[in-house]
Amino acid sequence: MTNRTSLRALATGTALAALAIALPAQAQDALPAAPAGEEAAPEQEVVVVGTQIKGKDITTALPVSVVDRNQIEATGALSGDDLIRSIPQAGDVTFNEANNPQTSNAARGDVNSINLRNLGVGNTLVLLNGRRMVSHPTSQAGDGNVPVLGYNSNALPVAGIERLEILRDGAAAIYGADAVAGVVNTVTQGDFDGARLDLRYGYAEGTHRKEFEGTGLIGHNFAGGRGNFSLFVNYVRRTAQLAEDQPYTATDNLLSFFANDPAYAGNLGADGRATQSPWANLAVVGGPGTIRRSPGNQALTSSAGAFHTQSSLNPGCAVTINSNVCYGTGTRATATTLRSERFDTRPGTTVTPAFNRYNAFFTGRYEVSDAVELYTELGYYLADTQRIQPPTINLNAIVIPASNYWNPFGPVTFANGQANTNRIPGLTNVPAAGLPVRLTTYRFVDAGNQVVNVENWQSRFLLGARGKIGSFDYDTGILYSEAQARDSSNAIDMTALQRNLALSTPDAYNPFSGGCSATPSLGDCSPASQATIDAISFNLVRKSKTTLLLGDFKLSSASLFDLPGGGVGIAFGVEGRRETQQDIRDPNLNGQITFRDMVTGETNLSNVAAVSPTPSVFGSRTVLSAYAELAVPLVSPEMDVPLVHRLDLQIAGRVEEYSDFGSVAKPKVAAAWDIVDGLRLRGSWSQGFRAPNLEQTKTVAYSRLNSNTDYYRCEADLRAARIANFSACSRGISYSIFISGNPDLRPEESTNWTVGTVIEPKFIPAGLGRLTLTADFWSIQQTGIVGQFGAQNALVLDYLLRLQGSSNPNVVRSAPTADDTPVFTGTGLAAVGAVTRINDQFVNLLPQTVQGVDLALLYNVRTDIGRFDVALNAARLTKFSRETPPAVQALFDARAAGQINAATPLTDASDLIEERGRPKWRVTGSLTWSHKGFQIGAFGNYIGTVYDTNFLDTAGNPYKVEGKAFFNLYGQYRIRKGPLEDTRFRIGARNVFDTQPPITADGYLGSLYVPYGRYLYASIGKRF
């Protein structure tokens, strides 16, 4: 971290980016007592998420889970990612440090996301001690390339959490935007008097992954208990996990894992090696067509001048250069004869990065009088990571000047009079001055692996006051929080590269040298010198920043006036917040420094070999809001109403005014009906919304590299009988998709409802413990979800329209070349060129409906042999579907009418359950036994079956990824007397049975699983 950044971080005040995550292990309304022999939590007011009425129990009507410190420890979690994967209601983790993001367009570094109900990043509202968190500053493409912002769960200092409060219900009427899937509130440890130190070390067996954690907590009461300050500090160091550590991450070629499965044996979808390699695709620019040489008038290129480098040991050599490399005509046949030359990106890389993570959090309070208490929060989170990625690819085509020293079609004599020994002898139709060559598919392997360094930090400063005004409780505060990220990596400067390629000396970069014939998918046997690499390289930097300035004033009364059923609670308040986002792209990407080809004069907005042009984004908005909430007890037990032991009602509403798109108003109604004591029915109905983020509305346009199938060419192949059926088409294409922001986007609206029951049998004697059973059915319908028409749909529409004599203007193609025309000869189809660009824009799309059931069993009992705490939680997804937009439905209709081939793929979103990151079932369970100084805890986590829709058998069926169960176990002893009094020793294991994640064509599903088996750890803690 730079000195300037350090000073600024300290001056800002620092923030614990303690992002809330949920482990649904408590369906009751209050925390359980501390286990016997365990240190009890300090006395403090319980903040219940789901209401703004201080001291009012609203959770009788709402599905709320509260997770205490002991239950968190049962997971063995060290990071927020470890913990969030233990939540049955959690969806897939799409911001993922192990997702292997290849460019700075992804959110990289110490970052993982929160995604309750699988509704997507940004649909869960995250609070810290009851107030909003600042979002992680780096966006990443979500579904349909829509940029999304979320909260970084890895910034959560697990060791510093007092408890988690999870509202598994929409709460826009209480908290405002983003509370679509639910609300997660993290309550940090505070009001601590004394000191505590904890040290922990752990490692994943058979890997290089090792972790050390040190945690300190100090606090002091003063002024006779009227004041307290507490300071928490935490440090975590983790070494990188290497690709070589596991067989399913060691290579891109996973064909051997499916060799014994008849339906998938030989399915090349399991061979994920990349087409970009040191073996290059090239084409002569401005040539006479096919380049030939004597004797024999041998063709060295296609009719469009295309040729390639390949291993001299593979078939297809036209000109052999040496034992490693030769030149072949046309483009590389990596789908067939040259498949061995696909590049294996995994060796030498990291699966998860090495990092240092720091957290600090300070809380203070002082009672000025019985009616006024001042309080503050100061926090800081910092993480620096380093990951190793594969070498950079050449994303944007570049022309190698004729003067290049290594150009096989270069001049006969260089400008300095030296004879060109690299020109192919006997060329019959290449001028003496030579011809330039266009370089397309290529990887700069000799430049080495890409090293990515990311620094994330977040700060938080809160100053508030609370107390009494008459019969009302008040709470007011000013919060400022900001988050920043700096992503830097080595990259190739296109302008510097072309300048170097123009050299007529051996110092020129040589893209014609290929790789290694002995290991064609690895390495470069004729690398450029370090001086040459240095001449074409630079450090690519992306800086992003988000800020949150919030002020609020809240008034509440638990009993404003009395009804026969009890006191009516009320809360109302106002809030104003200012949100900003900056995504500052490197000048080589954002249009300040562009690449202009010195040979052709073509201009590209990106001057970086591997990253699409992306403008910087600056946005801000102001939000003013007001809310009101009523808690109405309609019937109390004392009223003796038959079949109505108790009946409570919650009514709430909130209005928010946005500076950029207007106002939104949302209501909520919830009720709890106790038929008899111990049998409760509860339900709620609410409306919610998610505001489009600033990147979705402010972005002018950006591009991304994409790949798909040119279905129009597939039709030509079928008519020419080059393929037996449409499904056999292999017309894979790469292109840029240009996406525009939309300032007219409206909020994504949602309607939520839940119906459930809580059973607490009162016939069980107190000595036999307390049993709680809960079941809740929930439903969320969203409308206006921000998305796009989609590149695949655009290509299918272009296919349909070209058969009808027109074309899709959003699919941009180059003019047909001499290589394109023969493809369409005799088919009755007009010849077209390659797809170079697809245009799209963010729009509000049609509804999505998600439904499911939450189940829980909780049991606590004290016996002569100790206390037992049991928790079972299950989440069952029953529906996940999206309606088809009219423009896409028109494509389905055209396919049904025979206007396009019946095998043309179209995305059917009517049933998305069990599709990759959406298992039907997720179940967790925990068991803790405590007695005197001993404690043993066990935790189980089951992730249900999903299907890999990207990996199909011969009949088109997706690959079944079987569900897996994982079990954790720990034991600890706390010394209660003697010189080591209050010293705790613990040993434990996550995934004690060493269960590996299920294998997929990608290796494993990083959004659901972690890339290692058994993890062992030990810790020691001392309270002073």
Three-class DSSP labels, 738-752: EEECCCCCCCEEEEE
What amino acid occupies position 929? Answer: W
> Percent of the chain, pLDDT > 90?
65
- 41-85 pLDDT, tens digit per residue, is 333 445 467 888 886 655 567 788 777 777 777 777 777 677 767
Pairwise CA distance, residues 720 & 681, whole Å: 66
Rounded Cα–Cα distance for residues 901 and 714 (Å)? 10
Site of tokens 């000025």: 368
Q: Is 612 helix (H, G, I), strand (E, B) or coil?
A: coil
For residue 951, is pLDDT > 70? yes
pLDDT given at position 49? 79
Alpha-carbon distance values, 721 to 466, 628, 715, 746, 796 (Å): 79, 70, 10, 49, 21
The torsion of the CA quartet 874, 875, 876, 877, rounded to 10 degrees, works out to -170
What is the C-alpha to C-alpha distance for residues 624 and 663, in angstroms, rounded to an integer? 9
When pLDDT is cut at 50, 70 and 90, the band that residue 734 belongs to is: confident
Compute the CA torsion angle 916, 918, 919, 924 (nearest 10 deg): 120
Q: Which residues fall within 8 angstroms of residue 193, CB to CB, at 6 or more apart?
A: 42, 219, 220, 221, 228
530-537 contact pairs (CB < 8 A, 24+): 531/507, 532/500, 532/507, 532/508, 533/446, 533/447, 533/448, 535/496, 535/500, 535/507, 536/447, 536/492, 536/493, 536/496, 536/497, 536/500, 536/509, 537/447, 537/490, 537/491, 537/492, 537/493, 537/496
- Least confident residue range of 56-60, 82-86, 111-115, 305-309: 56-60
Helix or strand holding residue 930 (H, E) = strand 921-931
DSSP letters for 631-679? EEEEE-GGG-BTTBSEEEEEEEEEEEEETTTEEEEEEEEEEEEEEETTE
- pLDDT reading at 22 higher than 60: no
Residue 275 in tokens:
């087409």
Phi, psi angles (nearest 5°) of residue 276? -80, 120
Residue with token string 């720990």? 970
Reported as a single tens digit per residue, the pLDDT across 658-682 is: 998 789 999 999 999 999 999 999 9
Mean predicted lDDT score pLDDT of the chain: 88
Give pLDDT, residue 851.
Answer: 95
Q: Which residue has the higher pLDDT, 890 or 190?
A: 890
Q: How far apart (Å, rounded) are the C-alpha atoms in residues 629 and 624?
A: 17
Residues 38, 84 contacting (CB under 8 angstroms) = no
Cα 459 from chain centroid (whole Å) = 22
User: Are 682 and 57 in contact, with CB atoms under 8 Å apart?
Assistant: no
Whether pLDDT at 887 is above 80: yes
886-896 vs 791-803: helix crossing angle, rounded to 10: 50
pLDDT value of residue 142: 67
Which has the closest alpha carbon to 477: 116, 127, 844? 127
Contact by Cβ (8 Å): 427, 307? no
The mean pLDDT value for 805-831 works out to: 93
How far apart are the C-alpha atoms of 433 and 953, rounded to whole Å? Answer: 53
Output phi, psi for 822, to 5 deg: -60, -25
pLDDT above 90: residue 886: no
Is the per-residue pLDDT at 250 higher than 90?
yes
Burial status of residue 262 (CB atoms within 10 A of its CB: 0-12, 13-18, 19 or more): exposed
CB 893 within 8 A of CB 886: no
Tokens of 17: 């980016």
In the prediction, which pLDDT does 20 show? 26
Gap between the Cα atoms of 692 and 787, Å rounded:
11
User: In sequence order, what are the beta bridge partners of 196?
Assistant: 217, 1023
Could you tell me if residue 828 is left (phi over 0), alpha (psi between -120 and 50 degrees) or otherwise beta? left
Q: Which residue has the tokens 């089951």?
A: 942
402-420 pLDDT tens trace: 999 999 999 999 999 999 9
DSSP 316-370: --SEE-SSSEEEEESS--TTTTTGGGSB---TT-EEE-EEEEEEEEEEEEEEEET
Residue 418 burial (CB count, 10 A): 11
- Position 35 scores a pLDDT of 34
| Other beta carbons less than 10 A from residue 2's beta carbon | 9
In this prediction, residues 902-920 reach a mean pLDDT of 86
Does the predicted model carry a pTM greater than 0.85? yes
Residues contacting 272, CB < 8 A, separation 6+: 252, 253, 254, 1001, 1002
The confidence score (pLDDT) of residue 59 equals 56
DSSP type of residue 608: B
Residue 554 pLDDT:
96
> b/e for 325-347, b at 16 or more Cβ within 10 A?
bbbbbbbbbbeeebbebbbbbbb
Mean pLDDT over 129-144 rounds to 83
DSSP state letter for 534:
H
Q: CB count, 10 Å around CB of 203?
A: 18
Q: Are the CB atoms for 872 and 925 separated by under 8 Å?
A: yes
Q: Which residue stretches of 699-833 are H helix?
A: 711-719, 791-803, 821-824
CA dihedral 858, 863, 868, 872 (to 10 degrees): -30
**What is the arithmetic mean of pLDDT over 113-132?**
85
